[in-house]
Structure 1
Amino acid sequence: MPQQNDIPLASSSGSPCFNAPARDEAPAVIFIPGKKFQGTFRWWKSRTTMEKLLIPTMLLFCLLTAVLLAVIINTDKRIEAIKADHATQTEKSLGEPTEKSPVAPAAPPLVPDSEAPPTTTIPPIPTSSEKPKEPEVCSTPGCVRAATHFLNAMNTSVNPCEDFFEFACGQWNDQHPIPDDMFAFGTFAYAREQVRQQLRVLLEQEVVTESESINMARATYRSCMNKTQLDELKTGPLIETLTELGEWPLLHESWKKTTFNLTNLLVNSRRDYGVDVFFQLYIYADSKNTSRNTLFIDQSTLALGRGTRDYYLNTTLFSSHMTAYRKYLRNIAQILKADGNLTRNDADMNADIEKIIDFEIELAKIIVAEDERRNNTRLYNKRAIRDLYSLLPQVDWVPFFQSIAPTDLTHLFHNDTEIIICEIEYLRQISELLEKTDVGLLTNYVLWRVVQSNVRYLDERFEDIKQDFLKVMTGQQQSPPRWKDCAQVPSTVLPLAAGAIYVQAHFQESDKYEALRMITHLSKSFTDLVRKNDWMDEETKKVAIEKANSMINNIGYPDVTNDIPMLDKQYVGLHISEHDTYYYIMKKSVVWMQSREFQKLTKPFDKHEFDISPAVVNAFYSPEKNAITFPAGILQPPFFSGTFPKAVNYGAIGAVIGHEITHGFDDQGSQYDKDGNLHNWWSESSLQAFDKRRRCIVEQYGNYTVPKTSFRVNGKLTQGENIADNGGVKEAFQAYQNYVQENGEEPRLPGLQQYSNEQIFFVSYAHFWCGKKKEAAAMQQVLTDEHSPEVFRVIGVLSNMEAFADVYKCPKNSPVNPDYKCIVW
């Protein structure tokens, strides 16, 4: 999700400039989740949940029966002995105590809550008042549901101090293979699939509501699902697009260089199809004055996506990926050629495709790596449009902006119009690359990016081509059913309308208030951590606490989703009918969304705007808004429920809330003040102390090697997310302890009563990240994603928490309790 922070949750910058600093080489630490002792437990792991509950119960019953018989027999013997003593009138009053057969105690839990004192003899039979008090067990539906999640996930044959990810998730990962239509699967993906299925049912309802925008959401879904119409249209809409843009030289022998005009080509690609090439254009809050919106220009992305430059530059390691990319491009071109009855020679087409790839490799060389873009001050370069003429003179900038903006706003764009340039040196270098590149190749590349963006709206042949490509890039084995993609489309085109449908059917108001209460407690935990730390001076602490207390909370959904007239007002100017083709709907939507974005230049920046669909399973932080957002989609089991015990909620969604709060104080969020302005509010000594702790996190995670690959986690790219993970869990645990202190200990989970609620808290946190990825997808994540692999989001965090080691009684220097810990917050 661009411009916002999510938890697999999303990047920390809300700014259009994606930021990040280069990795230092360090010795690799290979961490491979273990499956220790599993040979002995294969039979047990294959049992059903019911069997696992009944078998120990039966064994315990048999053991208790045997003990009771032994006690009865032993008591009878003692009575007989007493009678014998009296009969013989010996001097002893009771005689020597009878030797009792020791009874084997029940096996303790893997990690007991307390150490029992060693005993060498069996004590006398206790009276009822001496019986040890059993922990109270919760039997509510919420407790049973939460316990079921964990009982079906945990691999208790593994020592939690050795590998907590396997301990909490081993059974879940074993029993949930990655579906063929996905490249990864985990509890997070499970929740997303659940929401997607719920949306599908709601969007397929044959109803007409009083809300025009909700009707348009359903029309969009039905149009996407209309395969018959897609098969009839074939590539006609895209061929029409290419004709509008002046033909694709790749397909046409007769393309004339004299028709080339770079400014016009970029205008038409951006205005009509939302495709940015050679640079990206955004409208967002001025980072140093967030009361207003302004223009941003940033470096380009590549066709394979943001952060994919290594695929182009490391030809040895990624040769198969680039071969798949060539094939993908070639197959799309061949279908367009055949459908258009064109006669371009295949050899010439293939030669042009090679030139496109070679050009993009040159483009990759000048793109700044994402881990070098985390200093937001470096990326803030205020200039005027006139300055763009000297940086990238191949574009006629004033006409460019006037042409892509709505006609009623053209007066806003002139030489003196303010603009913020994220990467000045990049613009100089792309200018040099454009200058030495043949105009036919430039046209081929621009139109390839337009084609690539629009083939997703065409018939099933293109899905097959895409699937062949994804099989290499991510390991996904087959295309998902069409409804999965179509159910997400309304959330992109009409996010609040799609969210309104979802919220009305699946979100409870009480859950919203429970989440708000948790945010209050988590915010207090963060301020407590700030007050107690010994590395910030008092003035900087005061400012940090003020920022935390100023955060805007967006929970569940915006009020507009319950107000039909206001909801429909959000989509004034967008007209979608049942008769529109899918391709035309998406084109109209892009044009409408761009017009709406430009209108923001005439308005103040709205820090309270809830601009995420409530049906999204994710969470976000925006530094410019100083706002955290939790859509309704993530406030659901197994992560959250108003019926769950607090230990479960705080361990899962509580850690997510803490994660988003901490994003305001990670390496990027810490550059912004309470009003969202890019402003250094740190004292020099506190900033140096923060930087030392930040570098510890970078080094720690940079030493993790992803299982089944030779790749190490990019500690610099992932540092913001790792800082947020570490702070979030610590804050959530403290908030839970505060809750217990105020309200008393909760009953324990049924079937898991041998584990304390504090232990369950950490199981709940780890359970959030259960899952696995295909090897290709794991590699892709390391290269492109600012989030660490899930196993390290668990192991990395817990190995830095003294509280975790205390709760699980982990020996010093055990794998999840190293002597040296990295602590920022």
Structure 2
Amino acid sequence: MDISSQTALQIRRNMNRSANPCTDFWNYACGGFGNTSKYVDNFEWVEDLYATSMRGFFESHIEDTQSPRLLKQMQTYYEACTTDLLHWTWDDIPESFRDWSPTLDSSRGYGLNGVFFDERVDVATNDSLQLVVQIQMPQLSTRYSVQRALRIIQKYPWEHKDQMIQLAGGIRRLEDKYRLLEPIVQTWRVEELSQQIPQIPWTAIIRDIMGVDPGQLENLLFEVSDVNYLREMGQLLANTDPGTLNQYLKVRQMVLLKETEPLSKNPKSCIHHMRALLPLGMEYIYDKFLYKNRKQDTLKLEEILRSLKATFGKYLDANRLGVTSDQMAYLRAKLYGMKIKIGNLPEDESPEFYDNPYQSANFTESSFLKNLIEALALRTRLQHEGLLQPGSRLDLRRYYVNDDVVKARTSPFYENERNTITVPMLFLQWPLFDHRQHAIFHGSLLEAVLAHEMSHGFEQEGILFDADGNESPIGLEIRESPGFQNAIKCVQQQPFVSLKERLADLNGLQLAYDAFFDLNHDSRKFEYRPYAFEAEFSAPQLFFLSYAQFFCGLLPPVIAHDRDDERVNVSVGNLRQFAYDFKCEPSTVQSHPICEMWRPPPREEYRSG
């Protein structure tokens, strides 16, 4: 069976034909997924394919003459993970670590972040090549870690038990006090930062992370948000007994280790753990030894991006928002400067580059826990090493995103500062993508996903960044324009979790549909001939089914996006063509207005239809 016939067959298997596509399209498209798949969702499917191939590589003990040290380190880590991984408690932590007396000076060096403040290396808001240290209050997501820490504190007879609970509560109250405020970002040198918030040993913290003398830190730039929070938090810490502070940091470090370790003792779980913690090594191995379709996939993705750009260019030609000539030039420069890349490997492909990043980590085959502690510290060092480059400028040939994450990204993502869409290599596997598939499957799934990511460059947050990734007053002008604000107000008529994600969902599906079928396509006036691999559904119906099935699976908890069923139902309901394509009765069609931000207004025949 050819790949397109196989894809069409899988689409029919996933369906629930008892559901009404006009009232619950997600259930109609995905209601049968749980009965036909052993996976939770499509992401788990492609992640399992990736893990299977990576497991085969590690267990074959292949040698690499190009970067032997890197490969040896990765094999050593994998070996310990699969043979020494245990469910451990505080008593299992190595003696040297248990005796460690953590302080604010040293905890970040061990990978700990977001306890009292969040510290990370990024680029300046007005210069996407200038590296800065960003300081702000802890991310809201760290509250899960706080809850876990409190459960551990309450379970054991700690010396400073009550004081640790009070400290966590005090930080929580400060976060609640300042969370909803729009912070002003201050740009300071380390001396200014130490003067403005003197209770925190900033110089010692950065010196401990980077292992350099204080004199080498004088020219570092710090972008500091939530200054009033940081001042009050610093005073709270200054009034806290050092023993309480040290014990609380120990507990939070234990929570970090528990959150970061593999979910279970098996090779595939270890591989996904390594993909998050040692991404450069895992990307290198997969790309060099296992990924066979880079050339074909690259050509197809670039073709899709060109199609999306051409269609969005037609949107701009119509100038629905009535932007000025300067604003139009800003938008076109951003659109045509947008790039796409497969995987997250640096441009520098020299053997020396790949063989050196992990050399400071002392991994061993006999202790996974020691390796985990080493890897967390290594990750922090790698994130900060660019700060020592002349002028702390970003080296684009070696640029690599390496966030403090416990799970690596599987879906494509857009970065404002790089104006780039990155598509993880493991994403480019069937059932999500195969370069041999018919164009309708590329257009309905991958093109829709890429259109969503492209749309992030033109929603209410992304619009502020220009083609080079710098915040621009022109972007702010566009955002504050009446047409842009009216489009946002239209979207706000329905509940959502994230406005920018809702905008990207709606605008992305519109863009993908128009890119595939043409901007003025009207299915009511077109007679479709069946595809050789699919005779039941018309081309637009197959487009929507394939799009919706990207979201098949168990409904996830709502964090940064709407629930998958809402994302599908709201998005297809916002596209006029959907009701025509599935011949929906007027009584079943949503009553709220169609929301379009960039798309040209419909022609008269659409209005009257």
The answer to whether TM tops 0.5 is yes
Any unmatched runs of 5+ in structure 1?
1-139, 180-184, 247-264, 313-321, 334-345, 464-478, 703-713
| Matched ranges for 1:391-402 at <5 A | 391-402=196-207
Equivalent position SS for 2:554: strand
In the alignment, structure 1 residue 812 sits paired with structure 2 residue 606 = no
Q: Which residue of 2 aligns with 1:430?
A: 233
Map 1:38-53 to 2 at 5 A: none
User: Residue 757 in 1 paired to residue 539 in 2?
Assistant: yes
CA distance in 2, matches of 1:609, 1:701: 41
Answer yes or no: is 1:654 the counterpart of 2:447: yes
Amino acid at match of 1:618: S
Could you tell me how far apart the structure 1 residues matched to 2:89 and 2:176 are? 40
Structure with bigger RCO (C-alpha 8 Å, 6+ apart): 1
Distance 1:385 1:525, change over 3 A: same
Question: 2-side partners of 1:531 and 1:570: how far apart?
Answer: 49
Shift of 1:605: 1.7
SS across alignment from 1:753? coil
Conserved 8 A contact 1:656-1:728: yes
Equivalent of 2:284, from 500, 507, 521?
500
1:547 equivalent to 2:385? Answer: no
Q: Counterpart of 2:251?
A: 448
**Quick one: which of 475, 487, 491 aligns to 1:697?**
491
Cα distance in 1, alignment partners of residues 518 and 178 from structure 2: 39
Change (3 A) 1:813 1:292: farther
1:545 alignment partner AA? R
Map 1:654-673 to 2 at 5 A: 654-673=447-466
Please give the residue correspondences for 1:623-772 in structure 2 after superposition, counting only pairs within 5 Å.
623-682=416-475, 684=477, 687-688=480-481, 689-702=483-496, 714=497, 718-738=498-518, 748=530, 752-772=534-554
Question: 1:706-736: CA deviations, max 9, x gaps?
Answer: xxxxxxxx3xxx1111211212211111111
Q: Which amino acid aligns with 2:267?
A: W
The match for 1:581 is 367
Partner AA of 1:240 in structure 2:
S
- Contact 2:346-2:399 within 8 A present in 1 as well: no
The answer to whether the Cα contact below 8 Å between 1:769 and 1:794 also exists between their aligned partners in 2 is: yes
Q: Deviations over 1:64-90 (max 9, x none)?
A: xxxxxxxxxxxxxxxxxxxxxxxxxxx
Does the 8 Å contact 2:357/2:382 carry over to 1? Answer: no
Aligned position for 1:365: 173
Q: Which amino acid is the alignment partner of residue 217 of structure 2?
A: F
* CA–CA separation in structure 2 for the residues paired with 1:173 and 1:353: 46
- Hey, what does 1:513 align to over in structure 2? 299
Sort the Cα spacing of 1:362 and 1:206 in 2 relative to 1 into closer, same or farther, 3 A: same
Change (3 A) 1:567 1:607: closer
Q: Indicate which of 268, 274, 292 corresponds to 1:490.
A: 274
- Contact conserved, 2:465 with 2:471, CA < 8 A, in 1? yes
1:155 maps onto 2:16 in alignment: yes
Instruction: Measure the CA separation in 2 of the matches of 1:233 and 1:278.
Output: 24
Matched residue SS, 1:281: strand
Matched, 1:167 2:28: yes
TM-fit CA distance, 1:657: 0.7
Cα pair distance change 1:386/1:557, threshold 3 Å: closer
Give 1:381 shift: 2.2
2:321 alignment counterpart: 535
Cα offset for 1:152? 1.0
8 Å Cα contact 2:101/2:246 also seen in 1: no
**Contact 1:153 1:170 (8 Å CA) reproduced:** yes
Cα–Cα, structure 1 residues 224 and 326, in superposed 2: closer, same or farther, change >3 Å? same
In the alignment, is the contact (CA less than 8 A) between 2:363 and 2:374 conserved in 1?
no
Task: Confirm whether residue 205 of structure 1 aligns to residue 60 of structure 2.
Answer: yes
Asked if the contact 1:270/1:276 (under 8 Å) is kept, the reply is no
Q: How does 1:217-236 map to 2 (within 5 A)?
A: 217-227=74-84, 235-236=91-92
Contact 2:114 2:137 in 1 (8 A): no
Amino acid at match of 2:8: A
| Cα distance in 2 for residues equivalent to 1:174 and 1:664 | 38
Q: Structure 2: state its 5+ residue gaps.
A: 403-407, 599-609
Q: 1:580 to 1:276 in 2, by over 3 A?
A: farther
Distance in 2 of aligned mates of 1:758 and 1:231: 51
Q: Work out the CA distance in 2 between the residues paired with 1:234 and 1:629.
A: 39
Letter in 2 for 1:681: I
**AA at the equivalent of 1:722:** R
SS in 2 for 1:804: helix
Is the 8 Å Cα contact of residues 619 and 628 (structure 1) preserved in structure 2? yes
Task: State the Cα distance separating 1:297 from its structure 2 match.
Answer: 0.8
Query: Which residue is equivalent to 2:602?
Result: none
- The answer as to whether partners of 1:298 and 1:422 remain within 8 angstroms in 2 is yes
- Paired position in structure 1 for 2:604: none
Query: What is aligned with 1:189?
Result: 44
Inter-partner Cα distance in structure 2 for 1:300 and 1:281: 9
| Coordinate RMSD, CA, aligned | 3.4
Match of 1:31 in 2: none
1:577 Cα deviation after fit = 5.2
The 5-angstrom pairing of residues 267-278 of structure 1 reads: 267-278=105-116
SS state of the match for residue 809, structure 1? coil
Q: 1:196 to 1:511 in 2, by over 3 A?
A: same
1:599 alignment counterpart? 385
Distance 1:567 1:360, change over 3 A: same
Q: What is the CA–CA distance in structure 2 between the aligned matches of 1:428 and 1:809, rounded to whole Å?
A: 61
Alpha carbons of structure 1 residues 739 and 632: separation in structure 2 relative to 1, 3 Å: farther
Question: Aligned partners of 2:393, 2:124: CA distance in 1, in Å?
Answer: 10
| TM superposition shift of 1:808 | 1.9
Residues 605-651 of structure 1: CA distance to partner in whole angstroms, max 9, x if unpaired?
A: 245656369x9522111111111111211112112111211111111
Match of 1:787 in 2: 561
Contact 1:238 1:454 in 2 (8 A): no
Q: Which amino acid aligns with 1:697?
A: V
Aligned letter for 2:490? Answer: C
Instruction: Name the amino acid aligned to 2:571.
Output: V
Following the alignment from structure 1 to structure 2, what is the Cα–Cα distance between the partners of residues 792 and 822?
16
Tell me which amino acid in the other structure corresponds to 1:662.
Answer: S
Structure 1 letter corresponding to 2:207: Q
- TM superposition score normalised by structure 2: 0.85
Amino acid paired to 1:365: R
Aligned residue pairs: how many?
581
Distance 1:391 1:531, change over 3 A: same
The answer for the alignment partner of 1:802 in structure 2 is 576
Which of residues 101, 109, 123 in structure 2 aligns to 1:245?
101
Residues 122-161 of structure 1 correspond to what in structure 2 (within 5 A)? 141-161=2-22
Identity of aligned residues (%): 20
Q: Is the contact between residue 238 and residue 455 of structure 1 (CA under 8 Å) also seen in structure 2?
A: no
CA contact (8 A) 1:530 1:541 kept: yes
**Shift in Å, 1:326:** 4.6
Contact 1:560 1:567 in 2 (8 A): no
Counterpart amino acid of residue 220 in structure 1 = Y
Return the letter of the residue paired with 2:79: R
- In structure 1, C-alpha distance between the alignment counterparts of 2:117 and 2:132, rounded to whole Å: 17
Shift of 1:682: 3.8
- Deviation (angstroms), 1:352: 4.5
Structure 2 CA distance, aligned partners of 1:438 and 1:574?
34
Letter paired with 1:297: I
Q: Distance in 2 between matches of 1:611 and 1:192?
A: 21
1:790 and 1:186 mapped to 2: Cα distance?
A: 11
- CA distance in structure 2 between the partners assigned to 1:156 and 1:806 by the alignment: 19
**CA 1:736–1:279 in 2, change beyond 3 Å: closer, same or farther?**
same
- Tell me if structure 2 keeps the 8 A contact 1:147–1:750: no
